[in-house]
Amino acid sequence: MRIRFIWPGKTKSGDLRSLEAAYLKKIRLRAECEIVETRAARGMNEKLPDRIREFEAGGLEKQVGGDYIICLFHEGQDMTSDEFAGFLDRNGAVGGRRLAFVVGGFLGLDENFLKKADFRLSLSKMTLSHELARIVLMEQVYRAMTVLKGQNYAK
Amino acid sequence: MRIRFIWPGKTKSGDLRSLEAAYLKKIRLRAECEIVETRAARGMNEKLPDRIREFEAGGLEKQVGGDYIICLFHEGQDMTSDEFAGFLDRNGAVGGRRLAFVVGGFLGLDENFLKKADFRLSLSKMTLSHELARIVLMEQVYRAMTVLKGQNYAK
């Protein structure tokens, strides 16, 4: 399985960055995995959120060509951890497309970019901060790997 | 509003502990708040999870007398962040009961303790690690404070 986590800019919280690194290391025991930080809007007028999202979407798009794109979106599909493991197994099978998990910046993802996603995933009915959502997502991917490994052992 | 976060044992991950401290500080700008670490099962046989949960419940029970008890539970009620803010506002009003948010240890909460809860809250359909769930919960409480402050300003 080949997995990429893609988001605009470096995660600002040092603690969350450290957790990202820890989960990345754990996921890499089971799959090819990397974090890609694309261009983040800086110094742009926050009163024009559409423009900021569009600018950031430009950077994201350059990274996801050919990938199976999964965008985090609060109105996306929710699922249990086991369902998520099955979802990863189906869509990230060996020889299949690379999975690109995309998390927006502090203003979320561009509407047009969201339309291009193969899947829109919701982690919670609650609104998580975009930086914390990155960690929750990585933890779920790691958990899924563990679930899948168990299933493989059981076979 | 008076809020306590109660769980068995100290959070092991240093990064998550550091995030706990940061959210605690932020929440304290808006409400009385503390984290209470109760006794955690150590050296007990993990093949007897019921006994571990029961042991930990004993420590939790000593802390919550008279409080409005909200237990994190994967089969609990989910809500949006705005609904959660309204929930805090209704149940944590000035002069009201203290709110006790209880998060279990690595094996979750004791069944009998869960029955005593005034409310069972689910943060996600997904299963979060108990330590990460503590942070997601604190972030939601902090977010709720911000929402409520905004509402008050708007009035």
Order of strands across the sheet that contains B68-77: B32-38, B2-8, B99-102, B68-77, B119-121
The CATH number of the domain covering residues in A2-154: 3.40.1280.10
Can you give the pLDDT at residue A152?
A: 55
Residue spans of beta strands (DSSP E) within B17-113: 32-38, 68-77, 99-102
Collect all residues of chain A within an 8 Å Cβ-Cβ radius of residue B18.
15
Can you give the pLDDT at residue A149?
A: 83
Could you identify the residue written with the tokens 């569009």?
A54
* Rounded distance between C-alpha atoms, residue A84 and residue A89, angstroms: 9
Give, in order, the Cα–Cα distances in Å from B137 to each of A1, A54, A115, B83, B133.
31, 31, 30, 14, 6
Q: Is the pLDDT of residue B154 over 50?
A: no
Q: What is the mean pLDDT of residues B63-87?
A: 96
Residue A45 — very low, low, confident or very high, per pLDDT cuts 50/70/90? confident
- Termini Cα distance of chain A: 19
CA distance A7 to chain B (A): 20
Q: What share of chain A is helix, strand, coil (3-state, %, to 5)?
A: 45, 20, 35
Can you give the pLDDT at residue B95?
A: 77
Which of A30, A20, A34, A25 lies closest to A144 in space, CA to CA? A30
Least trusted range by pLDDT, from A12-16, A100-104, A146-150: A146-150
Could you identify the residue written with the tokens 């983040």?
A40
Q: Is the pLDDT of residue A155 over 50?
A: no
Q: Is the pLDDT of residue A14 over 70?
A: yes
What ipTM was reported for this prediction?
Answer: 0.93
Which of B12, B17, B49, B61 lies closest to B35 in space, CA to CA? B17
Collect all residues of chain B within an 8 Å Cβ-Cβ radius of residue A84.
126
Q: Is the pLDDT of residue B120 over 80?
A: yes
Residue B42 — very low, low, confident or very high, per pLDDT cuts 50/70/90? confident
pLDDT tens profile A72-114: 999 999 999 999 999 999 998 877 899 999 999 999 999 999 9
pLDDT tens profile B12-31: 999 999 999 999 999 999 99
Collect all residues of chain A within an 8 Å Cβ-Cβ radius of residue B123.
124, 126
Angle in degrees, 0-180, between the axes of helices A130-154 and A81-91, rounded to the nearest 10: 80
Residue-range domain boundaries for chain A: 2-154
Considering chain A, what is the average pLDDT of its residues?
94
Asked if residues B145 and B31 have their Cβ atoms less than 8 Å apart, the reply is: yes
CB contact under 8 A, B139 and A125: no
Asked if residues A106 and A75 have their Cβ atoms less than 8 Å apart, the reply is: no
